[in-house]
Amino acid sequence: MTTTDTPRKVDADSVPAPSKRRYPSGRSGGLRRAVPATTLLWVLAAVYGFPVLWFVLSSFKPAGDLFSSLSLFPDDPTLSGYKAAWGSANFSQYFINTTIVCVIATILTVGVSCCTGYALAKYDNKWLKAFFLCILATTMLPGEVMLAPQFLVVRDLGLYNSLAGIIVPALLTATGCFMFRQFFLTVPDELIEAARIDGARELSIFLRIMVPISRPIMLTLAILSFQWRWNDYIFPLLMLNDPDKFTVQIGIQSLVGAQNINWSVVLGGSVITMVPLIVVFLVFQRYVMNADINAGLKD
Amino acid sequence: MTKSASDVSVSPPRRRSKYTVAPLVLIAGNVVLFALFFVWPAVIGLVYSFTNYTGIGAFQFVGLDNYSNLFGDSIFFDALTRTLLYTVLFVPLNFALSLLIANVLVSKHAKGVSVARVFFFIPWLLSPIVVGVLWRWLFGENFGLVNHVIEKLGGSAVPWQSNADLSLIVVVVAASWAWTGFSMLLFIAAIKNVPTSYYEAAALDGAGPWRQFVSITLPSIAPTSFIVILLNTIHGMKEYPLFASLNNGGPGTSNNLLVQYIYQTGFKSGQIGYASAASFVLMLILMVVAIIQMMVNRRVENR
């Protein structure tokens, strides 16, 4: 991804710049404008970054220093909070459970969304139109509104207290279907027509031509889905009963909801749960930043 | 004869409609999921809201009793008004912050945009539970950094946790902070779509940055603004995990919101029927919000 100055850097009237990429900051006018804008940007960034920074740095302080030391950097950095969270508070088990849920749910979500999005974009019949409206309806009725009945359904399907009970109900997402639909609408129909003339069957056109070209959308949705499942709290809370099956979010909440909060463990555990998402995000940053997350919403 | 003529005119859809099996196979997975986890719960939720079901055993239909009880239930009413208050505070604060940041980020004068953007985005990645823990750590009454600093500066500790209204404000700020990344992305996309020529023309006419923002940017991004408000309103109305970890709905029960109320009546007290009725009140509110938004949006776009 390039820097974000692309849309409005016309400025043709000001100076016939030799290189369009160079900022005109050498001139006094550019500098006069650059200073307040840059200052505002970085003040805001500092305000937004500070809570996370303070939290992460605190997690390296020894338990005894947590409440006494105001220094930003730990005088005596230690990993004891992390060790306590990973070992004693059963975070390793929660971490494994959450990873299983995220990976399976993400793969399946991308799969069903890709199929549905393609069908909605490239075929036309009244069943598909009706189903499109059905998916639209799910955006109006978030899962939180149907907590109790969803719990009963999962229980009656025999999925209560299993990881499948939090994976399967989460697979249908309107955002995912609309993202793929929006993408496949931009793929020219001639591609399909040509394949049909060559005698390809409908499903093999989908699998061998359409699936490979939709890889950027797949990655974007995969990141979103991973984040949704990793951060989900209320459905795991409802559907899981056995502490061996808890996810990391329930783990943290049970530590924070306790009478006497062991902050050293809470800080360590929370930072552990932040790491996978931040790594995934920094690696795949451009897929999220460029994403038309609102693709389906404006349709 | 006319029939065949009309068939010719609509030939593309007709040509496509040969394919009925393939698309149905493709959507089959989601159709099953939709039926199992949307239609089924929605139907039984509606049915149970008219019963005294407790999750197990038999139940009786009680007509509209659950709904009429809800309107006399002061705990429900408190949760409802607290939820509305939270949403009314959260939506404008988040709107203003993310619009400001989006404008700074697309400004061609600011330096280091691509790095700074990450700072605004990371809070959105964090789970509501972790966001709650993080702000609880900052605003702890006896141990938080904020009160430490206030006391160092000579003030007295502020009761961030034991005062219900201050506690709500901390949650509002935390939620706005965490949700900025998402709203900001939508705004950035919208602002980038405003034609550059508008700004050039305005600059020639002598309009300053503020005037350009009010007269060009704001009207041009109105559809996105409505989407942001709609999504944030829905998000605010169903907030629960952030409260759970930040103040556990407290002090006491003063900051119990609707979803927490539904969870507690449905799962702690086992009144599934009653909780379903409360869910449908929440659903109605969300639908009213969506309809109002759509009507306003259409009027603005037609103007």
Tell me the per-residue pLDDT of B114-125, one tens digit each, with 9 for 90 and over: 888 889 989 999
Q: Which residues of A touch B183 (CB under 8 A)?
A: none
B132 and B274 fall within a common domain = yes
Chain B (59-118) residues lying within 8 Å, Cβ to Cβ, of chain A: 100-101, 104-114, 116-118
Are residues B240 and A148, on separate chains, in Cβ contact within 8 Å?
A: no
Least CB–CB distance from B248: residue in A1, A147, A257: A257
Are residues A147 and B259, on separate chains, in Cβ contact within 8 Å?
A: yes
B37 and B184 fall within a common domain = no
- Among B21, B51, B109, B234, the strongest candidate for a mutation testing the A interface, having the largest count of A CBs within 10 A, is B109
B134 and B271 fall within a common domain = yes
B191 and B277 fall within a common domain = yes
Which chain B residue's Cα is nearest to A153?
B41
Nearest CA distance, A280 vs chain B (angstrom): 10
B162 and B276 fall within a common domain = yes
Q: Is residue B208 part of a domain?
A: yes
Are residues B26 and A119, on separate chains, in Cβ contact within 8 Å?
A: yes
**ipTM confidence:** 0.83
B8 and B142 fall within a common domain = no
Which chain B residue's Cα is nearest to A297?
B227
Q: Is residue B61 part of a domain?
A: no
Are residues B109 and A38, on separate chains, in Cβ contact within 8 Å?
A: yes
Chain B (128-167) residues lying within 8 Å, Cβ to Cβ, of chain A: 128-130, 132-138, 142-143, 145, 148-149, 152
B158 and B195 fall within a common domain = yes
Q: Is residue B77 part of a domain?
A: yes
Q: Locate all alpha helices (DSSP H) within chain A, ordered by sequence.
A: 28-58, 80-87, 91-122, 126-140, 147-156, 164-167, 174-185, 189-197, 202-205, 211-213, 215-231, 234-239, 248-256, 263-283, 285-289
Are residues A263 and B137, on separate chains, in Cβ contact within 8 Å?
A: yes
Own/partner long-range contacts of B284-291 (Cβ < 8 Å, ≥24 apart): B285/B237, B286/A140, B286/A141, B286/A142, B286/A145, B286/B234, B286/B237, B287/A140, B289/B230, B289/B233, B289/B234, B289/B237, B290/A140, B290/B230, B290/B234
DSSP reduced 3-state for B61: strand
More confident residue, B144 or A116: A116
Which chain A residue's Cα is nearest to B235?
A142
pLDDT tens digits, residue range A132-158?
989 988 877 777 788 888 888 999 999
Q: What is the pLDDT of residue A18?
A: 43
pLDDT at A34 > cutoff 90: no
Which chain B residue's Cα is nearest to A232?
B127
Q: Name which of B240, B236, B111, B119 is nearest B184 in CA terms.
A: B119
Are residues B129 and A249, on separate chains, in Cβ contact within 8 Å?
A: yes
- Among B16, B21, B39, B127, the strongest candidate for a mutation testing the A interface, having the largest count of A CBs within 10 A, is B127
The answer to whether A287 and A223 are in contact (CB under 8 A) is: yes
pTM: 0.84
Q: What is the pLDDT of residue B98?
A: 95
**Rounded Cα distance, A99 and A102, in Å:** 5
Domain membership of residue B34 as a residue range: 2-48
Q: Is residue B60 part of a domain?
A: no
Q: Which residues of A touch B227 (CB under 8 A)?
A: 294, 297-298
Least CB–CB distance from A123: residue in B19, B114, B177: B19
Total count of domains within chain B = 2
B129 and B274 fall within a common domain = yes
B14 and B81 fall within a common domain = no
pLDDT averaged over consecutive 10-residue blocks of chain B (303 residues)? 42 56 90 93 89 83 87 90 94 95 89 88 92 92 85 86 91 95 90 89 88 90 87 89 87 87 86 88 86 77 64
B252 and B119 fall within a common domain = yes
B13 and B99 fall within a common domain = no
